[in-house]
Chains A and B, each alone.
Chain A
Amino acid sequence: MNDMTLSDAKRGHSADAVFDARIAAASVEADGVLSLHLASLSGSALPRWTPGAHIDVILPNGLVRQYSLCGDPDLATWRIGVLREPASRGGSKCIHDEMAVGDRIQLAGPRNNFKLVDAERYLFIAGGIGITPILAMIRQVAAAGLPWTLLYGGRTRSSMAFLDEIAGFAGGDVHIAPQDECGLLDLQRFLGQQQQGMAVFCCGPGPLIDAVEDKCRTWMPGSLHRERFAPSNRPPLPKGAFEVELARSRQRLTVPAHRSLLAVLQEAGHSVTHSCTAGICGTCLVKVLAGVPQHNDDVLSDEEREAGGVMLVCVSRSDSELLVLDL
């Protein structure tokens, strides 16, 4: 068992469930890029992961952000790289400005939608903070002694994280291309012609991915693997709406402004005991694992409201973008 706390274990959480961890170390990797080393509260190893995996970080302000794991999968701790987004709505800003070594932090995952596949050789293309999943891939490919190429772009050299670490990996053909020195990445040179046995992995901003997809249109299907920064590009929820994640199934539901959380749960096929639907009987009480509930009931005590560990889903809503419920 490699979960974090006894209470997590009692809740029957798998490695996919929300759990508490702590920030064991932090370091500045480049202009605006901070890396956090995350450790379990008990000192035991965090769940194992594979290159390309990401985790959810549930911030104290209730926001949830996804970050790729970029450390060494053989270590007991995890590492993420966090870029301070200029237009941050509180995610990266919170991590950069408000969190410190020693703080507790809620995590979920890891999950991997960007898995490294077997190939004879690899072309890695990274834009900006998109280097984070690529970094873990390079580590594995280099350790296996397979040939690899990295095309890594960024606004300026000082904004590009992990350059020293990349230089330490063996067997690679590394092309560092800061935009202010080299212009845009020369994709034509690397992707203009299909190369047999090569897998292409790309992570970065949307325009880079679009350009890489365009170049790879004539390649064999399945050659290109990419991960967009989709979560941060997602439009904000309408006013009054919020999301819930059901910890046992990992299902995510959106609660519109004009509908109750109970109604949304029922519509999604989840049976929750209830009676009054007015916040009086308390029978629809649900445990809150993360996020900030907005209590609209008439029956929870001041202490229960303040603690935020339970809510009545018939009338209560969320003050954070996301609530994680023990359902």
Chain B
Amino acid sequence: MVDVRRVRGGDGLQEINAEIDEILDAVVEKTRHATVEFFVAYDKNPDPKVLAAWLAPRAWREIDYVFLLNEQIRRYGLNFSRTHITLLAKQSFQEAEHYEAVGKAIESLGGIVPTIVPASAKPWSDFLWDCLERHPLAAIAAWNVSETSASGSFEPTFEAGERHGFDEVVRVYRQIETDEKFHVGLGRQILSRYAKTDQDREEILRAMRGMRDIAWTTFTPESVVIENA
């Protein structure tokens, strides 16, 4: 198994790699725990609309990444290599595909695909965009934690999928799981390549710590809000 956190391409994170790994491990574990709790509750009341509502913030994340990545490229992209611009654009395209795929899954469950930020995802979205304003690498650091957090949700989701037979959701998230390895590796490579100063590293850690405390919250059973069609 390849470890994308060890991606080559720069040494700008050397001094803070250990702390970054701790942050990532923590957010994965919190997200895994929140997802397990959600499906424990879902097992007692397996209403597809509840599952659809749980997926709604996930769908929003996907489309918000599209907006954010495109703005990242527009605003700061020419400070990056052409290859990194291309890869960020590729990530953006994949996030758009995920929005479409998760959206279809939500609709197949009888839910509504969000077209404005859901209330439960607003703290996440606000923090991400605030990071983009602060520093060229901060938003990348934030979404790197957020993307990593999702990896904690995959196995509990797949296990629940077997129990409840929501095969389409599982199929969609199998593809997302693959693509997120790319996104996590790309984020780490860009941060490592372009972080040069202590201030850069401070902004990266600030963004990561902040996202660590937010990213998992939309996976809990308490975060689910069912909107009427």
Contacts and interface: CB of A to CB of B under 8 A. Distances in A.
Nearest to B186: A280
Contacts of A276: 87, 90, 182, 185-186
A283 B178 contact: yes
Q: Looking at chain B, what size class is its interface with the partner chain? A: 10 to 19
A43 B90 CA distance: 53
Contacts of B6: 299, 301
Interface string B1-26: 11110111100000000000000000
Contacts of A299: 2-4, 6-8, 185
A224 B3 CA distance: 58
A253 B77 CA distance: 39
B104 interface: no
Interface string A264-293: 000000000111101011110100000000
A299 B182 CA distance: 11
A170 interface: no
A280 B3 CA distance: 10
B206 interface: no
A283 B181 contact: yes
A298 interface: yes
A327 interface: no
Contacts of A94: none
Contacts of B8: 298-299
Contact of A300 (B2, B83, B181): B2
A274 B189 CA distance: 18
B94 interface: yes
B94 A280 contact: no
B179 interface: yes
A281 B178 contact: yes
Contacts of B182: 275-276, 278, 280-281, 283
A301 B179 CA distance: 21
Contacts of A301: 6
Contacts of B3: 282, 299
B83 A275 contact: no
A271 to B, nearest CB: 12
A282 B185 contact: yes
Among B83, B179, B181, residue most surrounded by chain A Cβ atoms (within 10 Å) = B181
A282 B90 contact: no
A241 to B, nearest CB: 24
A282 B4 contact: yes
A248 to B, nearest CB: 22
A274 B9 CA distance: 20
Contact of A281 (B4, B9, B83): B4
Contact of A278 (B2, B87, B94, B178): B87
Given A282-B4, A285-B2, A275 B9 contact: no
Contacts of B181: 275, 281-283
23 contacts: A274-B178, A275-B178, A275-B182, A278-B87, A278-B90, A278-B186, A280-B7, A280-B185, A281-B4, A281-B179, A281-B181, A282-B2, A282-B181, A282-B185, A283-B182, A285-B2, A298-B8, A298-B189, A299-B2, A299-B3, A299-B6, A299-B7, A300-B2
Interface of A: 273-276, 278, 280-283, 285, 298-301
Given A275-B94, A280-B7, 11 more contacts: A275-B179, A275-B182, A280-B182, A280-B189, A281-B182, A282-B1, A282-B2, A282-B181, A283-B2, A298-B7, A299-B7
Top 5 nearest A-B pairs by Cβ distance?
Answer: A282-B2, A281-B182, A276-B182, A275-B182, A280-B185
